[in-house]
Every structure is written in structure tokens, then in C-alpha cells.
């Protein structure tokens, strides 16, 4: 099936609308069903227009226009955007990650790599974390976005500006003794916090031991991972996906954060199986992909949305690694429809003139552009994880970025024109950037601390 | 709009102006003068760690311009708590802001901080109801509601009835289903040994499936009950067959029933029947998930071999 030189098979038929024979009592038309029908029809008509000439056709991927859109997202914003004042690190991360995947060098556009240090210096606090802007409190989400953007550049100048020692202390203050992390002092405790913190810890090679000034130490907690896997396991709901914290509704973005955390904490086939019901999460993830749309929805009975091309689509590489040892066939198996998602992204999420969106009728923005492009990376590559043979992990035994591998998938339509540079499945930045950062911070650990 | 620069009440403050990183910085925002000045005064107050009345008026102004500013909310909460301010009036001030900015989530963390300190949930359930009327699946509101129910032990204070009312309005509102699970099953694991409750909830899910057989929310709820109570699927086989009469495939009315039926057949060791159900899903009733159904089929054989 994968990476063969055999010519691709003809594209299979459009998935039919999920209609059922007349039932005794017709399904009551509630707001959920009415909205669902409308979106399904809208997407189906997009697919039909795209396939009019030839059944396997999609709309072409407008790479240059999307790159221009993201380059524009790094330009100056008018005052109406001041409601984004606390999210600027996110805007930068979305644009940087998306541009890297597109691999498009634009004329007349300055290299974003040269602007990163100037951008994040005013956001950097003495406590080690990054806030949304100058004078804003450190926050795990903005720290995550800032660190990923800096590391995506693969430039030493950017690595050097991160104060790893102070960051270690800052993260220590966010750790909660019962396992998870708070997003900021006095903020919400949810599974995003764990993921943001673990991404930073593993990329910067920080010690897993909590700093002495970490408040959680007073409750006998001495390690960033203490009680964390168990707590993430409690976020899995009766449906199979994970909610933001125990008891909350299963949701794509929190599920990605939980799975991603477990995939940093150790070999995915061990950690994911240890803390989650794998059959249940597989089933729930699978049920998030709809026909005829082809795209992913974030929760049961919600609508498809291009951002879940990543939040749900991005769970599949992680699940592939978690289940790769199940049977001799596992490494070749797919659990979802790559062509369905590809078609949703190409046919329904591209805005004329550039940028990608939630669904037809919505406006493109940097967030949806980046996460749709990330979705293309998951569609176009098959990922796996091998435990490093020399025991070479990072930060005392976390799963290293270079343990992951990918193989391009060849037998899906729309390629090779629509191919993007592959992302790392855990760090969601260019393939080489994560491993390169781990190697640099590993080698410079003594100096940096 | 307040002109802080010429207001005598602020003359002792030296504003700290925005540092934006110079010409190279990315994604800069051309702030309005009003916002920029207010933020400069906020930075100065925060640097001096001032916890006073004027912090409240300043943060109120900034929130009006940019309600998605976590720093401002957190600093405001600090002042309110440290200075023992009137938290009731804070809640009253918050209500219209929450209703105006439905998708804002900083408001809910702030509200949680305030209500926790107030130690009194009066009015909260009513306000949540108003919010959810405008946005029935708002994740932050539902999360806040979970916190509230747990914090003040409101499990038996109308929550069950409220989920029922919301499901009467929209039987596919999965947030309401999830909340029902939370209210009924999350307090204590001993609930699984209470046949009264397990039966009541099983009947509830079944009655909703009768109304809308293709509603995944209700099937997920039902399957959760079966799994957690250790009830074999075969116990409801007759019910499931109503919606997935496998011997008359043209009469199948629910892909979720077919999915459950495949598991029941596997449980009973009827592997060929299970394969038949999964084939129907892969080929006719849910073909976008063909790869998943094929995986389930292959697992049947593996489990028989081992």
C-alpha cells in the first residue's frame, strides 16, 4: 500500500451521503442535525464541482497564495487586531510553522527567521517564561508558541535567547502535585498545560527533577512526571477521547494534547497503552471523520472544521506509533481515510486568494491555515517510532524527537503538487528542527544551566 | 475614555511604554492610542505591585477594549481577592460581558476564581442556563459548570433535570449527554453496583435511541454504561437488532447499532456474523471509516487465533 512504485489506483468513488432507508419514525430535526445537513450538502457540492472533469480530481493546492497569506500574517496589523494582543506568539507560531511546511521562498518577503529574537525579547520575562507581549505575565501557551517558533528557525541565535535555567524554575512553579500543570499562576489547570510544558522540557532537555523552589515539592512531588500519566488517563471519557480535565467532554484538541504528552513521556506503544483504553480512543478518533465532508469534527455531533485536520488528524501518527507492535501488519495499516481528509482540505478549506479555513463560507485565518497544512503532513506521511537503541533519550528517558520516522504515502490523489514538507508529529514544526534543537541543547546543557 | 496622562488621580504614575522589538519584530499591532496608554499605566502599576481601587477601574477599561487579555484578568482577580472587595458586584459586572463575548474563556476562569472565594454558588446555575441558551455547546461554560457542581456539591440540585430539558431541545447535544454522565456517574464508583441507577440510565439512553436511532451521543452513553457496569452486550441484543436487523440489511437504521452488534457477536463467538456487520459498515453504512472497520475485522481473527 505505502511507498511502492506501482502506479496509484484510480481514485475511489465519492463516499456516499450517510442516508438510511426510511425509518419507522423519521429522525427529529434538531439544531444539531439541521446544521449538520447544511454543512454536508455544502461540502458535497464542493467535491462535486472539483470532480466534475475527472472523478479523482481535487482543487489544486494553491501553495504560493497560502504562503503569501501566512507571510502577510507576520506583517503589521491595524488597531482592530489589538484583541489579539495576548496571542501574538501564537500568530507567529502559526505563520512560521505553516511557512516552513510550505517551503515557499517568497520574493520581497524578509526571512522571518531574522525577526524572531526581536519579536520574543519583549515577551520574555525574568521568571523564564514568555507572555503574550511586553509586560504580560508568563503563560504556558505563549511560552509553547514562542519556544516552538524560536526552535523552528534552527538558528543558534534563537536557541541562545531562551533562558533554560529560568524556564526550568518557571515550569516547576506550574506543576500541580496531583499531576497536571496550571496554564499560568492562578489560571486554569488542563491537559494543554501538560503538553505545553512537556514539549518545552523535552526540546530544551530540561531535567525532569523539579527545582527546589517548586511548590509541588511541599506535597512530596519531586518530578515533572509525578502522577501525570494517571491524571491524563482520567481525562479519557466514556466516549474514548480526552476532555480538558477529568469529567469534561471528549474534544479533539485536548485529545491531541493528552496523546502528545504520553508520546513525549516514553515509547508511545508503552505509555499510551499504559494510561489509555486504546480500543476506545481508536474508535472515538475514527468516528470523528465524516462523509461526505471527508474532514474531521472535534466532538461527537459537532461539525467538521479544518483545524481538526490537525487536532484529530494529528492523533493518527501518534496512534500509529502506539499500535505499531500490535500485529505484523500494524506498521502498514491505516485506521482512517487519508483521501477523505485530503479532499476536505483541498476542496473545502482553501480560500480563493490564499489562506485556509474552518469550512466553506468561513474566512481564512493563520490558525486554520497552519492546522490544515499540518493535516496535510499527517495525510501525506506514515509515521512510526523506534526506541533509540543506544538508550539515547533526552532529559532522563523521555522519548527523543529523532526516535520518530516517516515514509511518504504515494497512493493518494492530488500529489505530488500538493505535497508539503513533513512536520514532526509531536512538535508540529519542521521534521529536522526538533531533533536539531534537542541535540544542541543537549550538547550545551552544562553551559546553559 | 479616560485620559490618564492629564488626570490628576494618575499624576504620580510614570507609565511604562510598550516595547515592541523594533522594526524587525513580527506581527506587530498598531495599537489605538487609548489602548496603548491604558496598557502603559497597567505595566507601571504591575511593576509597582499596586493593589488598589484604581487598578480595578483601569483593568475594567482595558477589558472593555480587549477582553481576551489574560494578564489583565489575573491582575484584577489578585486585587479583588487581596483587598477583600465586594465579589457580588464583580459577578454582576461580569454577567453582561460574558453574554457579549460568548467565545471568550478568560471570563470563566475569572468567574471561577471569584465564586470560589465567595464560597456561594447562588445564581450561578441560572446564569449558566442563560449562557447555554445562547451557545448550547460552549466548552468553557460546560467546564465551569462541572467545576461548580463539584465545588458546591450540586449533583442533586436540578442538574439531572437540566440535562434532560436540554436533551429534549436537542437530543444530539453531546455536551448535555456528557454532563449527565458527570452528574450521575462521576461521584462514586459504587454507583455501578446500584442496579436502580444503572437501569434508569440504560432506559433513558434506550428511549432516546428510539427517537433518533442514528444519534451517536446516545449510543456512546449506552455503551459506556454497559462497559462500566460489566453488562454483556448480549443483554440488549434484541434492542440493538431493532435498529440493525442484520438478516434484512436494507432495513438497517443505525450504523451505531451495527457497530455494537458486531461487538456483541464477537462476545458471543459468532465471528462470521460479526464480520458481516463490519462489512456492511465498511461497504454501505459508514464507508469513510472503511480502514477502521477492516481493522476491527482483522482483530476478530487475531482474537480467535489467540
Q: Report pLDDT digits (tens) over B152-178.
A: 999 999 999 999 999 999 999 999 999
Share above pLDDT 90 across residues of chain B, in percent, rounded to a whole number: 89
What fold does the segment set A64-448 form as a domain?
Answer: Glycosyltransferase (1.50.10)
Gap between the Cα atoms of A199 and A301, Å rounded: 31
Q: What is the ipTM of this complex?
A: 0.96
CB A232 within 8 A of CB A242: yes
In this predicted structure, what is the pLDDT of residue A3? 40
Helix residue ranges per DSSP H, A154-251: 156-161, 164-174, 191-204, 228-234
CB A361 within 8 A of CB A39: no
Gap between the Cα atoms of A219 and A288, Å rounded: 39
In this predicted structure, what is the pLDDT of residue B171? 97
Gap between the Cα atoms of B90 and A138, Å rounded: 25
All three cell numbers of A438: 534537542
Q: What's the whole-number average pLDDT of chain B?
A: 95
Q: Hey, is B279 helix, strand or coil?
A: helix
Task: Residue B21: list chain A partners with CB under 8 A.
Answer: 115, 118-122
Which one of A40, A79, A369 makes the best mutation probe of the B interface by having the most chain B beta carbons within 10 Å? A79
Q: Hey, is A289 helix, strand or coil?
A: strand
Q: Which of A15, A21, A186 sits opposite B288 (nearest CB)?
A: A15
The verdict on a CB contact (< 8 Å) between B288 and A294 is yes
In this predicted structure, what is the pLDDT of residue B1? 66
For residue B285, give the chain A residue with the closest CA.
A18
Gap between the Cα atoms of B284 and B250, Å rounded: 10
Q: Report pLDDT digits (tens) over B6-61.
A: 999 999 999 999 998 888 999 999 999 999 999 999 999 999 999 999 999 999 99
Angle at A121 between CA A118 and CA A126, to 5 degrees: 170
Min Cα distance A179 → chain B (Å) is 18
The verdict on a CB contact (< 8 Å) between A248 and B77 is no
Gap between the Cα atoms of A283 and A277, Å rounded: 10
Q: What is the dihedral of CA A58, A62, A67, A68, to 10 degrees?
A: -140
For residue B171, give the chain A residue with the closest CA.
A30
Q: Which residues of A are catalytic?
A: 251, 299, 302, 305, 307-308, 358, 365, 368
In this predicted structure, what is the pLDDT of residue A393? 58
In this predicted structure, what is the pLDDT of residue A1? 38
What's the mean pLDDT in B254-270? 97
CB B263 within 8 A of CB B222: no
Q: Which of B27, B30, B298 sits opposite A78 (nearest CB)?
A: B30
CB pairs under 8 A between A and B: 235
- Is the model's pLDDT at B218 over the cut of 50? yes
DSSP-derived letter for residue A206 is -
Min Cα distance A393 → chain B (Å) is 32
All three cell numbers of A406: 516517516
Q: Report pLDDT digits (tens) over B228-254.
A: 999 999 999 999 999 999 999 989 999
Task: Using pLDDT thresholds of 50, 70 and 90, give the confidence band for residue B301.
Answer: confident
Task: List A182's β-bridge partners, or say none.
Answer: A189
Q: Hey, is A175 helix, strand or coil?
A: strand
In this predicted structure, what is the pLDDT of residue A149? 98
In this predicted structure, what is the pLDDT of residue A356? 98
The verdict on a CB contact (< 8 Å) between A335 and B295 is yes
In this predicted structure, what is the pLDDT of residue A329? 81
Nearest to A363 by CA among A371, A373, A354, A374: A354
Gap between the Cα atoms of A73 and A75, Å rounded: 6
For residue B220, give the chain A residue with the closest CA.
A239
Min Cα distance A308 → chain B (Å) is 16
Helix residue ranges per DSSP H, A205-314: 228-234, 252-265, 268-275, 278-287, 308-311
Half-sphere exposure of A224 (CA within 13 A, CB side): 32
Task: Residue B150: list chain A partners with CB under 8 A.
Answer: 247
Nearest to B210 by CA among A28, A20, A36: A28
CB B241 within 8 A of CB B258: no
In this predicted structure, what is the pLDDT of residue A258? 98
| B207 exposure class (CB count in 10 Å sphere: 0-12, 13-18, 19+) | exposed
Angle at A239 between CA B165 and CA A189, to 5 degrees: 85
The verdict on a CB contact (< 8 Å) between A186 and B74 is yes
Find the catalytic residue in B100, B103, B134, B299.
B103
Peptide bond preceding A292: is omega within 30 degrees of 0, i.e. cis? yes
For residue A182, give the chain B residue with the closest CA.
B109
Task: Residue B182: list chain A partners with CB under 8 A.
Answer: 247
Nearest to B219 by CA among B200, B243, B238: B243
Q: What is the dihedral of CA A190, A192, A194, A198, to 10 degrees?
A: -170
The verdict on a CB contact (< 8 Å) between B291 and A239 is no
Q: What is the mean pLDDT of each run of 10 residues along chain A (449 residues)?
A: 38 47 68 92 90 81 95 95 95 96 79 93 97 97 98 96 97 98 95 98 95 96 97 98 98 98 96 98 97 95 98 98 88 91 95 97 98 97 87 71 93 79 96 93 69
Gap between the Cα atoms of B40 and B23, Å rounded: 20
In this predicted structure, what is the pLDDT of residue A342? 93
Q: Which of A74, A82, A249 sits opposite B35 (nearest CB)?
A: A82
**A311-to-A143, A233, A428, B287 alpha-carbon distances in Å:** 20, 18, 11, 22
Q: Which residue, chain included where needed, has cell 459498515?
A: B281
Task: Residue B221: list chain A partners with CB under 8 A.
Answer: 238
Q: Which of B18, B74, B253 sits opposite A134 (nearest CB)?
A: B18
Stated as kind and residue range, the H or E segment containing B161 is helix B159-169
In this predicted structure, what is the pLDDT of residue A143? 98
- Beta-strand ranges (E) seen in B34-182 are none
Return the number of other C-beta atoms located less than 10 Å from residue B15's C-beta. 18
Phi, then psi, of A407 in degrees rounded to 5? -130, 130
Which one of B20, B27, B212 makes the best mutation probe of the A interface by having the most chain A beta carbons within 10 Å? B27
The verdict on a CB contact (< 8 Å) between A335 and B292 is yes
DSSP-derived letter for residue A430 is B
Min Cα distance B172 → chain A (Å) is 6
CB B300 within 8 A of CB B266: yes
Half-sphere exposure of A428 (CA within 13 A, CB side): 31
DSSP-derived letter for residue A207 is -
For residue A137, give the chain B residue with the closest CA.
B71
All three cell numbers of B170: 436537542
**A110-to-A107, A113, A115, A288 alpha-carbon distances in Å:** 8, 9, 9, 39
Q: Structural domain boundaries of chain A? A: 64-448
For residue B183, give the chain A residue with the closest CA.
A247
Q: Hey, is B156 helix, strand or coil?
A: coil
All three cell numbers of A154: 534552527
Stated as kind and residue range, the H or E segment containing A385 is strand A381-385
Min Cα distance A333 → chain B (Å) is 8
**A24-to-A93, A179, A315, A413, B212 alpha-carbon distances in Å:** 52, 50, 38, 40, 11
In this predicted structure, what is the pLDDT of residue B103? 85
For residue B138, give the chain A residue with the closest CA.
A249
Min Cα distance B176 → chain A (Å) is 9
The gap from C-alpha B101 to its chain's centroid, in whole angstroms, comes to 17
The verdict on a CB contact (< 8 Å) between B254 and A20 is yes
Which one of A133, A257, A296, A327 makes the best mutation probe of the B interface by having the most chain B beta carbons within 10 Å? A133
Min Cα distance A382 → chain B (Å) is 14
Q: Hey, is B63 helix, strand or coil?
A: helix
Give just the sign of the alpha carbon dihedral A184, A185, A189, A193: positive
Gap between the Cα atoms of A247 and B186, Å rounded: 7
Gap between the Cα atoms of A291 and A43, Å rounded: 9
In this predicted structure, what is the pLDDT of residue A326? 85
Return the number of other C-beta atoms located less than 10 Å from residue A126's C-beta. 9
Gap between the Cα atoms of A335 and B263, Å rounded: 18
N-to-C CA span, chain B: 74
The verdict on a CB contact (< 8 Å) between B216 and A301 is yes
In this predicted structure, what is the pLDDT of residue A9? 36
Task: List A175's β-bridge partners, or say none.
Answer: A181
Amino acid at each position: 500500500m505505502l511507498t511502492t512504485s506501482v502506479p496509484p489506483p484510480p481514485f475511489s468513488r465519492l463516499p456516499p451521503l450517510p442516508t438510511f432507508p426510511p425509518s419507522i419514525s423519521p429522525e427529529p430535526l434538531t439544531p444539531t442535525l439541521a446544521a449538520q445537513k447544511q454543512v454536508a450538502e455544502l461540502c458535497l457540492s464542493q467535491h462535486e464541482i472539483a470532480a466534475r472533469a475527472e472523478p479523482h480530481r481535487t482543487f489544486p493546492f494553491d501553495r504560493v497564495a497560502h504562503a503569501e497569506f501566512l507571510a502577510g500574517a507576520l506583517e503589521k496589523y491595524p488597531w482592530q487586531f489589538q484583541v489579539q494582543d495576548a496571542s501574538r506568539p501564537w500568530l507567529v507560531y502559526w505563520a512560521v510553522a505553516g511557512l516552513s511546511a510550505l517551503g515557499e521562498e517568497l520574493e520581497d518577503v524578509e526571512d522571518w527567521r531574522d525577526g524572531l529574537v526581536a519579536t520574543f525579547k519583549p515577551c520574555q520575562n525574568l521568571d523564564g517564561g514568555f507572555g503574550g507581549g511586553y509586560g504580560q505575565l508568563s503563560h504556558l501557551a505563549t511560552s509553547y508558541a514562542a519556544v516552538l517558533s524560536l526552535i523552528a528557525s534552527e538558528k543558534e541565535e534563537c536557541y541562545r535567547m531562551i533562558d533554560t535555567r529560568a524556564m526550568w524554575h518557571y515550569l516547576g512553579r506550574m506543576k500541580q502535585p496531583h499531576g497536571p500543570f496550571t496554564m499560568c499562576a492562578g489560571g486554569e489547570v488542563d491537559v494543554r498545560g501538560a503538553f505545553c510544558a512537556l514539549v518545552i522540557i523535552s526540546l530544551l532537555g530540561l531535567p525532569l527533577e523539579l527545582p527546589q523552589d517548586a511548590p509541588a515539592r511541599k506535597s512530596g512531588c519531586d518530578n515533572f512526571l509525578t502522577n501525570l500519566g494517571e491524571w491524563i488517563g482520567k481525562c479519557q471519557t466514556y466516549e474514548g477521547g480526552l476532555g480538558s480535565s477529568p469529567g469534561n467532554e471528549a474534544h479533539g484538541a485536548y485529545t491531541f494534547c493528552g496523546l502528545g504528552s504520553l508520546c513525549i513521556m516514553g515509547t508511545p506503544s508503552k505509555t499510551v497503552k499504559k494510561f489509555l483504553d486504546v480500543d476506545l480512543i481508536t474508535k472515538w478518533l475514527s468516528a470523528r471523520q465524516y462523509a461526505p465532508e471527508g474532514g474531521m469534527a472535534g466532538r461527537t455531533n459537532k461539525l467538521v472544521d479544518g483545524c481538526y485536520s490537525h487536532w484529530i488528524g494529528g492523533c493518527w501518527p501518534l496512534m500509529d506509533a502506539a499500535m505499531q507492535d500490535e500485529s505484523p501488519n500494524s506498521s502498514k495499516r491505516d485506521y482512517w481515510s487519508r483521501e477523505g481528509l485530503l479532499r476536505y482540505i483541498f476542496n473545502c478549506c482553501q480560500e480563493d486568494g490564499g489562506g485556509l479555513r474552518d469550512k466553506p463560507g468561513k474566512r481564512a485565518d493563520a490558525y486554520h491555515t497552519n492546522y490544515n497544512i499540518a493535516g496535510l503532513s499527517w495525510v501525506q506521511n506514515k509515521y512510526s517510532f523506534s526506541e533509540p537503541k543506544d538508550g539515547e533519550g533526552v532529559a532522563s528517558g523521555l522519548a527523543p524527537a529523532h526516535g520518530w520516522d516517516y515514509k511518504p504515502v504515494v497512493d493518494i490523489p492530488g500529489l505530488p503538487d500538493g505535497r508539503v514538507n513533513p512536520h514532526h508529529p509531536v512538535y508540529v514544526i519542521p521534521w529536522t528542527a526538533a531533533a536539531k534543537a534537542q541535540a544542541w541543547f543537549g550538547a550545551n546543557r552544562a553551559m546553559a544551566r | 475614555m479616560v485620559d490618564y496622562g492629564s488626570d490628576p488621580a494618575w499624576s504620580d504614575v510614570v507609565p511604562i511604554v510598550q516595547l515592541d522589538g523594533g522594526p524587525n519584530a513580527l506581527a506587530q499591532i498598531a495599537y489605538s492610542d487609548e489602548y496603548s496608554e491604558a496598557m502603559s499605566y497597567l505595566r507601571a502599576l504591575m511593576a509597582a505591585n499596586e493593589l488598589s481601587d484604581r487598578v480595578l477601574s483601569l483593568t475594567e477599561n482595558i477589558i472593555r477594549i480587549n477582553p481576551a487579555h489574560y494578564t489583565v484578568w489575573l491582575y484584577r482577580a489578585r486585587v479583588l481577592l487581596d483587598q477583600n472587595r465586594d465579589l457580588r458586584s464583580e459577578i454582576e459586572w461580569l454577567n453582561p460581558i460574558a453574554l457579549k463575548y460568548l467565545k471568550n474563556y478568560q471570563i470563566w476562569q475569572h468567574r471561577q476564581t471569584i465564586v470560589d472565594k465567595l464560597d456561594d454558588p447562588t445564581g450561578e446555575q441560572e446564569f449558566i442556563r442563560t449562557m447555554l441558551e445562547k451557545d448550547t455547546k460552549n466548552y468553557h461554560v460546560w467546564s465551569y459548570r462541572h467545576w461548580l457542581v463539584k465545588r458546591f456539591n450540586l449533583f442533586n440540585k436540578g442538574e439531572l433535570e437540566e440535562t434532560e430539558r436540554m436533551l429534549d431541545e436537542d437530543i444530539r447535544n453531546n455536551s448535555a449527554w456528557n454532563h449527565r454522565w458527570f452528574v450521575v456517574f462521576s461521584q462514586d464508583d459504587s454507583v455501578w453496583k446500584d442496579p436502580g441507577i444503572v437501569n434508569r440510565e440504560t432506559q433513558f439512553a434506550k428511549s432516546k435511541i428510539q427517537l433518533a436511532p442514528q444519534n451517536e451521543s446516545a449510543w456512546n452513553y449506552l455503551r459506556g454504561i454497559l462497559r462500566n457496569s460489566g453488562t454483556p452486550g448480549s443483554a440488549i441484543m434484541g434492542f440493538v437488532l431493532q435498529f440493525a436487523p442484520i438478516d434484512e440489511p436494507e432495513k438497517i437504521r443505525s450504523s451505531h447499532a451495527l457497530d455494537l452488534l458486531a461487538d456483541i457477536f464477537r462476545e458471543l463467538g459468532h465471528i462470521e456474523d460479526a464480520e458481516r456487520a463490519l462489512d456492511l459498515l465498511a461497504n454501505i453504512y459508514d464507508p469513510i471509516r472503511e480502514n477502521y472497520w477492516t481493522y476491527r475485522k482483522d482483530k476478530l481473527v487475531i482474537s480467535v487465533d489467540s
